Structure formats: structure tokens, C-alpha cells
Amino acid sequence: MTVTIQPTGISPADVLAVARGTAKVVLDPAAVDAMATSRSIVDGIEAAGRPVYGVSTGFGALANTFVAPERRAELQHALIRSHAAGVGAPMPREVVRAMMLLRVRSLALGRSGVRPLVAEALVDLLNHEVTPWVPEHGSLGASGDLAPLAHCALVLLGEGWVLGPAGERIPGGEALRRVGLAPIELAAKEGLALINGTDGMLGMLLMAVHDAQHLFAMADVTAALAIEAMLGSERPFLPELHAIRPHPGQAASAANIHKLLQNSAVMDSHRHDITHAVQDAYSMRCAPQVAGAARDTLDFVETVAGRELRSVVDNPVVLPDGRVESTGNFHGAPLGFAADYLAIAAAEVGAIAERRVDRLLDVTRSRDLPAFLSPDAGVNSGLMIAQYTAAGIVAENRRLAAPASVDSLPTSGMQEDHVSMGWAAAKKLRTVLDNLTSILAVELLAAVRGLQLRAPLTPSPAGRAALAALADAVGEPGPDVFLAPLMEAARDTVRGPELRTAIEREVGPLG
């Protein structure tokens, strides 16, 4: 696959193809022309000797310090070196690749005043799979992701570090030589344009949106399977009950769960039983209200990320009429708020799933299932400690759901006196979603075990697909086994597309 960067931008799918795959990147000729045009404006400013931030002045609190023409290239190189000040473990390859691609995207919009060769140098890194070593700590989310982007830009200069194939750290110059690339020299404004962006937090948010879309659908699957195993009712998911409270996410989630519970001998076994519970517990009956609210949150976050993907994020910006204006468009508040909001929603999707797991394992509430889903409880503990694991992860997600974006520490001599913490918000969102995968895996495992214990009753098509997906890993109910491999297999099943594809083949598309 090839992703072409045009002066109109790129799509979220393009970002995923480059970040998580090996798609090649090319610059559209129109984007090259747009960059050349904006660069000519910067060259004209230099020739005229006008004072312009980042072109002929220092940065941040040094914005009023004039820099002589003969030292302006030195200024840009010094900026990159001084700002590559991150510490900690390296960010994952996909985050760094997304960040580089998004910086190219912003430069290609023709408002940054850089020469095309600067964007082309970043494209070369992507196409040669040279991934800069970007430490996890360093960005405050304003002015954008300065330190992470500086670590990327430093490799263009033949300096810094690159992430090796085995996770080792390779000197940037050596990494360039290995693939036949040469360092570049920066001109006025170009160092600043390479680092003044929200690209790291945007890349993480775009990938989080994609992951959350899948996980929220899988949350409906695991909820339906757990409800089926607990002999719950399908009536709370009737469409007419959700039409009278018209939250779109709620309606979609309810429709999914209702669809997944059809054609089940397990459900048929108690549908007309007068001794059956009149009302199911909240964790069963209110599943669409919680998961649906998370879906609506996700829609908002997707809108914010889409707007940012169409934005020029730099400071200063070069306008077509020749003006170079200072902006605050690098501030990450829109992305920080969105990431925090989605983390809260995802944490709650996991929290209600863990409550269903607890009910499945509790002999007093699971409607005749054996304690902890073990046929021989006492000598055996069944899935008791799997629920402990889920509960511990729920607690961690609650801590991570505390918003990062309400925090701010002033920097740069009080010039940058309010920052977004958007990088931190997006980074912890990734952890929340990874944790949600594990919680849903525990629910899937418990639901499958519960459905196995309802035999000889035949479960729904979704239940049969889940049993088939985990058959080799889970086996039949019996004495205790080493549980961690079963949980890992369930986690792989939740994360991958195969189970959802198998279910949709039987019941039709899920909303």
C-alpha cells in the first residue's frame, strides 16, 4: 500500500497503514509546490531583515532575542538538540511512525515555510523503516509535543538515537548510513516547524479511536454471552425501550445484545419460567446504557481527532498573503480533553464487565452455576483468581481515568504558562484500552465456561462461535489448570477480528 500525502491532508486509515504496517509514503507534487511557495515567503522575510518569531528570533522566553542572519541555521540545529530532552523507555514503533507521518502531513499543507526536502527527509525515514528512539517522558502537550518531535528531528541531522530491530538503541548517524541516507542541514524556521505540533498525541488518539471501536463492539459480545450464561432476560434490550431514550450509542449497543441472544436454547429454557427473576441486575440490564454512553463519547472523540487531522498545527504559520503570524494552534487542549473523556468511558465499560464476571462466579447469584464455575469447587478454585485480576485492572483503570488535562505546570520562564498535558492523556488512554482488552478477556473466558456448564442446552450462534474460538485453549470444565495461558488466549481472541467475523457471519453485522 502507498499513502500519498496531499496538500489537503490524509485519512485516519492512512495513519494506521503507516503506523502499524509498512505502507510506503509519497508526497503529492501539489504538496511539494505548496511547501515551496510558503518557503519563498520565509526567504523573502529573511532578505528583508524583518523580525519574525522563530525565523530571526529565539524561542519561548527568548522570543525577543534577535538572531543574526549568519547564525540562524545554527539556531535551528541548537533548538533540536536542546529540545531532545526526553527520558524513559522508548515509545512504541507505531506511535513514533504515526508522529512522523503526521508531522509530514502538517508540513505538506504549505503553511510552515519549510523546504520540501525537510518533509522528504521524514518520508525517507518512514520508507526505510528508520524509527527514532523517542523517550516516553518529555512532552507537556504545549507547544505541542516538543521533546518527542525533537528526538525524531535529531535523527534527520544524523544525531540522536534510533530504535533497533531487537529494541536496542542505535546512534542516528549509523542508522542513516545503514540504509544509505544522508543527514540534512536545516535553514531558518525549519527546526521550529519540525517540533511545534500535536502529532504525537494525535497519532495516539487516532489509534485509540480505532481500537476503542473494536473493543466497544466486543464489549457487547462478551456482555451478551455473560447474560446468556447467567440465564438473563433479553427483554431489556428490545428496540422500543431504547427508542424512548434516544441516545444513539445506547440503541446500537442494545440492538447488538438483543441480536446476539437470539436462537438460543439456553435463553429458551427460562423464557416462560415464573420463578425466574423479574428484573436482572444493573450490570446485565444496564449494559447498553453504559456501553452506549461510551460509544457516544467515542463519536465525539473521533470528531475531535478528525478536525485535528485537517488542521495546520505550527507556530508561526505562513499565510498565503505573505504574513507570518504567531498562533496558539499547537496547544493540545482539544486532544487532551478528548483522550481523558475516552479513558473515563473505556474504564466504565471495563468496570461493568467485571461486575458481570463476579456474578457469574458467585453461586448465590449465578442461577445454578457451580461456585467459581468449577464442577468441583473446594479442592478447585475455578476462575476465582481470574476475577481478582479483572478487579485489580478495574482499579488501575479508575486511577488512570483521573484526567491529565486538568493539570498544568508553567514552563519557559512563564512564557508557556499553561500547558495541556495532552501527551500524558493520550499515553494513559492507550493503557486503559489495553487494560479493557484484558477485562473483556476475563468476561469472555467466564462466559464461555458458564455456557459450557449449561450443556446439554445449546447456546446462541454467538455463544457457539465463542466456544469454538476458545475450544483448544480452554478445554472442558474440570480440575484446575494453569490459568494464565487460557487468559492470554481469551485476550488474543478479544483483540483480534476472528471471533467478531465468525459471529457476524451467523447473525449479521454488529453496530
Decide if 391 contacts 443 (C-beta within 8 A): no
Query: Cis peptide before 7, with omega less than 30 degrees from 0?
Result: no
Q: Is 379 exposed, middle or buried (0-12, 13-18, 19+ CB in 10 A)?
A: exposed
Active site residue 341: no
Which residues, in sequence order, are bridge partners of residue 5?
27
DSSP secondary structure string for all residues of 271-338: TT-TTS-SS--HHHHTHHHHHHHHHHHHHHHHHHHHHHHTS---SSEE-TTS-EE---TT--HHHHHH
What span, in angstroms and rounded, lies between the C-alpha atoms of 254 and 219?
12
Q: In this structure, what C-alpha cell is assigned to residue 508? A: 449479521
CB of 134 closer than 8 Å to CB of 151 = yes
From residue 105, give the alpha-carbon distance in Å to each of 28, 124, 129, 201: 11, 14, 18, 15
The radius of gyration of the chain's CA atoms, rounded to the nearest angstrom, is 27
Ordered DSSP codes for 179-243: HT-------TTHHHHHHSS-HHHHHHHHHHHHHHHHHHHHHHHHHHHHHHHTT--SGGG-HHHHH
User: What's the DSSP call for residue 480?
Assistant: -
**Catalytic-role residue among 53, 282, 341, 388:** 53
Give 5-74 as a 3 state SS string: EECCECCHHHHHHHHCCCCEEEECHHHHHHHHHHHHHHHHHHHHCCCCCCCCECCHHHCCCECCHHHHHH
Rounded Cα–Cα distance for residues 37 and 355 (Å): 59
User: By C-alpha distance, which of 294, 214, 95 is closest to 496?
Assistant: 214
Output the nine-digit C-alpha cell for 231: 440465564
Cα–Cα separations (whole angstroms), residue 45 to 56, 59, 242, 276, 329: 9, 18, 61, 80, 22
> How far apart are alpha carbons 395 and 187 in whole angstroms?
50
The catalytic residue positions are 53
